[in-house]
Amino acid sequence: MTDAPKAGDVLRYPYLWARQAGHGETEGRKTRPCAVILSLKAGSGQTELRLCAVTTQPPQTGTHAVEVPEIEKRRAGLDSGVPLWVIVDEHNLDVFEQSFYIEPHSHIGAFSTSFTKELQKEMVLALRQRNSKAVSRRD
């Protein structure tokens, strides 16, 4: 991937869950689809990303998650044969230009603007309720 990802893009990314990071792990166990929820140019000119995992596992009670509609699965290049959720109450923070984790051909597809805004709204809600966890991948 040569251009910086933008909000709504879906990438293959070795997501590190907060519970794994809490146990001292530093690497994601597997590469999975992740949605770029926010992509911001920092004062340094670099692109800061907040990525949320897409999973087939139904969310646990109390988890902020959004089920991915069939049309959005197709837009994003995801498997339409299984239920999928975007977990928005935790995310990985990464800097695109310095990332060791974003591979050149990691882009799978993209969610629509309206679905991306729904994901952003749910993430903000989780942040306001202090129910959000961030794992920094910036090194």
pLDDT, tens digit (0-9, with 9 covering 90-100), for 46-92: 999 999 999 999 998 888 899 999 999 999 999 999 999 999 999 99
Beta strands in 80-122 (DSSP E): 85-87, 90-95, 107-110
On the question of pLDDT at 1 being above 70, the answer is no
Query: Tell me, what's the pLDDT at 128?
Result: 82
Q: Which two three-digit tokens encode residue 24?
A: 């001292």
Residues in the chain: 139
List of domains in the chain: 9-136 (2.30.30.110)
Report the C-alpha gap between 17 and 34 in whole angstroms.
12
- pLDDT of residue 134 exceeding 80, the answer is no
Residues 6 or more apart from 138 whose CB is under 8 A from it? 93, 94, 95, 98
Give Cα 102 to chain centroid, integer Å. Answer: 12
pTM comes to 0.91
